[in-house]
Structure formats: C-alpha cells, structure tokens
Amino acid sequence: MSFPNALRFEAKFNRQRFPQPPPGDREWYTYEALRALPRIILMIDKNEFSETYGCFDREFWHYRTTDFPCAMNQEFCLPLALAYSTPFPNNAYYQSERLKELVIASIEFAQKTTHEDGSCDDYFPYERALGAHVFSTYAMTESYIELDLNRPDLLEFFRLRGDWLLNNNESGQLTNHQAFAALALYNVYILTGDDRYLHGSHHFRDITLSWQQEEGWFQEYEGADPGYHSCSIAFLGKLYQKSKDQKLIEPLKKAVEFSAYFMHPDGSYAGEYGSRNTYHFYPHGFEIMAPFSKTATRIAETYLHRSLPERRRYFNDDNRMCAHYVYDWMQAWRDYHPQREGLLEEHREPFTKYFKAAGLLVKKTPHYYAILALNKGGVLKVFDENGPIYSDTGLMAKTDDDKVLVSHLVDQHNLKVDHKRGEYSVEGAMSYRRQPLPSPTKQILFRGMNLSVGRWNAHLVRQILQKVLITGKPKTKVRFRREFVFHDDHIECKSSIDASKDPRTFTKLAIGSDATSIYVANSNTFQESTLIPWRALPQHIYTLNQQHKVEIPKWEIRPSDESYTPSSTADTDKVS
C-alpha cells in the first residue's frame, strides 16, 4: 500500500535529507528552520479524538503540569504552514496533508479556548495578555493565508481577536508588542476587508513610531534593547511588505543603522547591555530592508556567513519559545535580497559611538570591539572576530541575611564621560536582586486573585507583576563605582564598593559574566559569551567587612589570538 504525501526522498537524488550549505548561502535560513520542525511538531497534540487536539502547550496537554493552556504557543502553527506551502530546498514537509490538518487544528483549538471577549492568556488564567494575543493572531491569520483556506467560522474568530485589539492595550512600553499588534490587525484587515482593522493597525503603527528615539532605537521598558529592537524591525518590515506604507521606511532605516552597532565582529548579536538582556536576532526585517539600506544587507550577510554556520547565533529552544525565529528564518529565505554588499565587518573602520539617550558606548579599535552600558552600572562586553573576549555584567554581593545586591539595573546613575581621553565612570546605589519563586501557598493565593480581581481587572494584576518582577528597584545604602579607560590595545577597569552606611556582613562578592535580575521571558538563553566564567572576589570580602568599603584593584583586558577570561586571584589582574 502506498501513502500519498508521505515524507519520502528518492535516494538517488537526495542522499542527505538536510545537507549543510556553505557559509553565506541563502539556504542557511531553511537549513536551520527545517531541522527545528520535528521539535515543533512534537509540541502539538495530534490525536483527533483528544479534547486538546491542536494544542501546542505540551506542559498542559501531555505533562499536565499546568492548569490552563498558554495561548502564545499557538503561534507554532506558522512554521508548519510555511513548510507545507513553500518548496524550500530539501523540504520533506512540502504539501504534507497531515501537516495542513495540524495547522487547522491548532487554529480551531485557539478558537475554542479564547475568552468570549476575544482575549487570551499567556502566564496565568484571565491574564488577557497582549503579547500572546498578537503573536498568535498574526501566526494564525498568516497560516490561514498560506493555506488559502475558506472557513467563514475562522474569519469570525479572527474578527473577535481583532475587535479585542481595537479596544485594548497593555501597561509598560514594549515597542515590539505595538509593532506586532499593527501587523496582526493588518492581517485581519486583509482577510475581512473591514476598514476598522486597518485604522486599528495605523493606530498601533503610530504608537510604535512615537516610541522610537532620535538615536534610532525603540523603547523596551526602560531603554534600548538591541535584541527586541531586531524584533520590532522584523514586525514593521513585514507590515511594510504587506501595506507598502511609506511612513515606515525612514524609521526602519534609522532602526537598521542602530542595530549595526550591536552585530559583533564574530557574528553574535546583542546581550546583557540591553534594557531587557536579550540576544534576539530576527533576520527577516533586514532582508526586507535590504533594497533600501546597504547596512541591512550587510547585517543579514554577516548572519548568514558567521552567526548561523559558526553557531554564534543565540539559542532559545525551550518549549515556549522555540518557534519564534523558525518562521522568521523561513520568511527571510523567501525574501532574500540577491544583491549583497559584503559583511558588516568589512566596512567598519575604528570608531567611538556614544548613544547618550540609550546610555550605550560602542568602541571599535584594531584590537577589540567593546560595548559599555553606562545606564546599567557599567555592563561591559568585549569581542573580536574570533569570539567573545570578556563579559562583565556588574558587581554582585551577598549579605549575611541572604540578600543579593547588584549594580546592573537600569537607573539614573552618576556618569562621567570623557571621549577624548577614553575615560568613563559610573556611580550609584546597588539594588536588591528580586527572585520571587512560586510555592503551593503562593500559587493558591495567586490563582485566587486570578479568578477574582484578575478576572475583572487584568490590567491591575499586570501592573503589580511588572512592578515586582521587572521595573521595581528596591535600592540599598550600598554604593558602587566603576571606572573604565579605553586604550587602543586594551581596556582598564576598576571597581569599588562603599557599604559604610550598611551594617551587614557580606558573605560573597563577584563580577558576573551573564547575570540578570529582572524577569524577561526571552532572557537567560544561550550565546557563547555565557560560558565566560564569573569572576569570584573572595579575597576582597574581608576588607569590605572590616572597613565597610573596598577598592578592587585595576585589571586589564588585553586581546590576543585566543578568547580569554579574567583571573580571579591576582590583585592586579591581567587577562591575556
């Protein structure tokens, strides 16, 4: 018996199902994407007789460790729809009828579990989360378009989703969500022809553009986050592609120029110097912008030459996030701009660039590429073409009452900037690191709030959680100071702590390489720099406790042919 559309290759034509392309080849987009599809397919409930048929939240339908399905996961339908509809190179999934059935089932499951008002949940019941709403609405409407469906009932469902977006927004400034809302509503407009959704798309577009700073970056909570910035470029780029809205071109060109400073010479991108600590990189927006910007082309080419082949890209492949960049890779392949302009690093001479509003310094010399976040208390990352050299996410200290103090939160620190001498310093108060963890008692109380107050005022619950987990900064009386001197061939660093107004004893002191202290779902992922060891400072704890202040002697970062990490023992540490 033969089965049509089975996943089979003729061996004489394809001995490798996923042959690895050469560096720089357009097929790197689909090579990565197609290898990710089995993981995405395993996430969905594929049993037609199951109550959760079409659910992508494996924690809910399979492990049963959660008490509601996460609506964000339903965006996983889009990679499957693109694999079904597009004859990508070596695409074993093209025109697979089972794949098409699963995409439709996923939309139907979202239809069944969406609240009556059109909202949906991400992290807790009755959250009515804008982020999960726009991600999944875009993915489902785009999948509907890709599959060329004719389902009036699903169109009514998309109207319901669109109607909720027309009347709701979220607290906090997350530009990428506003950009995605504009894109999702535009898709609903395409499918329904209803001008209300077009006007709603324009409304979110205008909010997005109003949150772009003169320096080119989009606001993400308290500042610039180059990772999420690339997401906003991708979402606005997709919107331009559909709408041909000329209002988007100049803001996107400015945004691309800002991004270029955070594509490191080894092909990695972004990091803990951003306001939300992410390594996001979405290439599709840069391919879309390539006809308008040589810089966009060079960024995309660097990604294809270095980031993907050398595994310099970030990895965020857990059960909740593993689809985000997969459909973006597929779309980047489809919209690949054939006229290339070389790699970004081939066109960069030494420079010093200071984004004053963002609090970010970027410096390139013949020996290193450094990014210093003064707004985050002196977070420093250093690279060369061979990879990460040094990663410093600030001072961390632990007291005898088990409180953790950090210097790396975004704040209004006292800064001294001398570009001519290459000298920079930052001084401020250390803050407590919050890490509230769930417990049975807390979960009972939280669910009680979800089902009572939260059911009728989700906005209030979100504001409280944002204050506790993200924007709140309980400051201490402990002060810190960090100083940096940038020379052509090395960087000098020095730090000090003043705890004279705090009577507690300190039990641990260190400089982290990848430490973060705010809740961001897409942070704490993997990039090579996370493997740079932390710098323990046990030799300075005695002085800190006896004198209530300590100065950590100067250490130097000296690039060499190999990546390196700082010593944690010498009083005058030299790294080479």
| Residue 2 clears pLDDT 80, i.e. is over it | no
Angle between helices 175-192 and 152-166 (to 10 degrees): 140
Determine, yes or no, domain membership for 382.
yes
The token pair that represents 490 in the structure block: 């090395």
Three-state SS at 245: coil
Specify whether 356 is located in the same domain as 229: no
Residue with tokens 């690039």: 559
pLDDT of residue 575: 33
Neighbours of 406 (CB within 10 A): 24
**The two three-digit tokens of residue 280, written as one number:** 């996001």
pLDDT value at residue 563: 40
pLDDT in tens, 217-236: 999 999 999 999 999 999 99
- Kindly list the distances between the CA atom of residue 147 and the CA atoms of 96, 99, 103, in Å, as whole numbers in the listed order: 12, 11, 9
> Of 205, 234, 255, which closes a domain?
255
Summarize pLDDT for 253-292 with one digit per residue, the tens.
999 999 999 999 999 999 999 999 999 999 999 999 999 9
Q: What is the pLDDT of residue 567?
A: 38
**pLDDT tens digits for 442-456?**
888 888 888 888 788
Question: Does one domain contain both 251 and 358?
Answer: no
Taking the CA of residue 390 as centre, how many other CA atoms within 13 Å lie in the half-sphere pointing to its CB?
A: 27
Instruction: Based on the fold, state whether residues 242 and 356 are members of the same structural domain.
Output: no
Count of other CB atoms within 10 angstroms of residue 7: 12
Residues 385 and 520 in one domain: yes
User: Which of 255, 287, 311 corresponds to the end of one domain?
Assistant: 255
Greatest C-alpha distance within the chain: 83
Domain membership flag for residue 302:
no
pLDDT at 89 over 70: yes
C-alpha–C-alpha distance, residues 153 and 537, integer Å: 63
Number of CB atoms found within 10 A of residue 533's CB:
11
Tokens for 204, please give them.
Answer: 């979110």
Residue 538 near residue 435, CB atoms below 8 Å: no
Give pLDDT, residue 94.
Answer: 97
Q: What tens digit of pLDDT does each residue of 382-418 get?
A: 999 999 999 999 999 999 999 999 999 999 999 999 9
In angstroms, rounded to a whole number, what is the distance separating the alpha carbons of residues 374 and 353?
Answer: 13
Output the domain CATH number for residue 137.
1.50.10.10
- Structural contact between residues 172 and 466, judged by C-beta atoms closer than 8 angstroms: yes
Same-domain status, 236 and 368 = no
**Same domain flag for 250 and 359:** no
Contact between 394 and 381 (Cβ < 8 Å): no
What is the distance between the alpha carbons of residues 225 and 270, in angstroms, rounded to a whole number? 8
| Residue in the structure block whose two tokens are 């610039």 | 224
Radius of gyration for the chain, computed over Cα atoms and rounded to the nearest angstrom? 25
Structural domain includes residue 6: no
Beta-bridge mates of residue 275: none
CA distance 229 to 246: 20
Percent of the chain with pLDDT over 90: 85
Residue 361 pairs with which residues in a beta bridge?
354, 372
Q: How many domains does the chain have?
A: 2
- Residues 226 and 361 reside in one and the same domain: no
Evaluate whether 509 touches 567 at the Cβ level (below 8 Å): no
Residue 509 lies in a domain: yes
Domain membership flag for residue 111? yes
The verdict on 242 and 94 lying in the same domain is: yes
User: Which of 219, 238, 255 is the last residue before a domain boundary?
Assistant: 255
pLDDT at site 292: 98
The number of residues making up the chain comes to: 576
Residue 248, sorted as left (phi over 0), alpha (psi -120 to 50) or beta, turns out to be alpha
The predicted pLDDT at position 423 comes to 98
**442 occurs within a structural domain:** no
Averaged pLDDT of the chain: 93
**Token digits of residue 299:** 């960024």
User: For residue 458, which amino acid is it?
Assistant: A
Q: Are residues 371 and 228 in the same domain?
A: no
Query: pLDDT tens digits, residue range 170-214?
Result: 988 999 999 999 999 999 999 999 999 999 999 999 999 999 999
Tokens of 13: 């034509």
Q: Are residues 370 and 490 in the same domain?
A: yes
The pLDDT of 516-530, averaged and rounded, is 93
Q: Is residue 219 part of a domain?
A: yes
> Mean pLDDT lowest for which of 255-259, 408-412, 465-469, 534-538?
465-469
Q: What's the whole-model pTM score?
A: 0.93
C-alpha span between 189 and 161 (Å, rounded):
12
Token pair 């000098």 in the structure block, residue: 492
Contacts of 207 (CB under 8 A, 6+ apart): 169, 178
- The span from the CA of 180 to the CA of 227, in Å, is 15
Q: What is the pLDDT of residue 6?
A: 53
Q: Quick one: pLDDT at residue 458?
A: 80
Measuring CA to CA, which residue among 39, 89, 44 is closest to residue 330?
A: 89
Q: Average pLDDT in the 56-70 region?
A: 97
pLDDT tier at 492 (50, 70, 90 boundaries)? very high
Structural domain that includes position 223: 28-255
Residue 42, both tokens: 């395993």
For residues 383 and 250, membership in a common domain is answered with no
Answer yes or no: is 527 within a domain: yes
CA distances to 194, 252, 562 from 246, rounded to whole Å, are 21, 10, 46
Reference 260, options 291, 236, 222, 229; nearest CA is 229
For residue 190, give Cα distances in angstroms to 78, 111, 367. 17, 19, 51
Same domain assignment for residues 385 and 239: no
**Separation between Cα atoms, residue 111 and residue 108, nearest integer Å:** 5
Can you tell me whether residue 564 is helix, strand or coil? coil
Going 270 to 134 to 284 to 295, the CA torsion angle's sign is negative
Are 289 and 235 in contact by the 8 Å Cβ rule? The answer is no
List beta partners, residue 493.
484, 555
Phi-psi group of 391: left, alpha or beta (phi > 0 → left; psi -120 to 50 → alpha; rest → beta): beta
Q: Where are the alpha helices (DSSP H) in 483-540?
A: none
Query: What is the pLDDT averaged over residues 407-432?
Result: 97
